[in-house]
Amino acid sequence: MDDREYGAPDGDRRRGGPGQGGRGRYQRRRFCTFCVDKIEHIDYKDVNTLRRFISDQGHIDSRRRTGTCARHQRRLTMAIKRARHLALLPYTAEHFRRYV
């Protein structure tokens, strides 16, 4: 049989086919939305903006997932924590709070 029928040979792990692992070759690069909009101060009272960076389970999304730069990720984390402390944002997801 020909090697091409079974996908990439053992030495070539860069290809992102099914069963190969990896994220694929042509993934679009994520960019920091705060840098693009030239936002220096992230307001903890702007709940609609902060909700975009919280997962459905209530976790703060990582830089890798959202594409924010390191400086804005630190400021975003502090803004989310302040909003949670002032009860503007929940600490947990709603389906967890329902059964407590």
CB atoms within 10 A of CB 35: 14
Question: Is residue 48 included in any domain, yes or no?
Answer: yes
Quote the pLDDT of residue 94.
Answer: 76
Residue 65, beta-bridge partner list? none
Residue-range definition of the domain harbouring residue 40: 31-100
Question: Is residue 4 included in any domain, yes or no?
Answer: no
Q: 24 — phi, psi (to 5°)?
A: 105, 170
Per the structure, the count of domains in the chain is: 1
By the 8 A CB rule, do 79 and 43 touch?
yes
Position with higher pLDDT, 93 vs 71: 71
By the 8 A CB rule, do 60 and 54 touch?
yes
pLDDT beyond 90 at 67: yes
Question: Is residue 16 included in any domain, yes or no?
Answer: no
Quote the pLDDT of residue 29.
Answer: 76
For 50, the enclosing helix (H) or strand (E) is: helix 47-51
- Structure confidence by residue, pLDDT tens digits, 77-97: 999 999 999 999 999 887 666
pTM of the model: 0.69
59: domain CATH number? 4.10.640.10
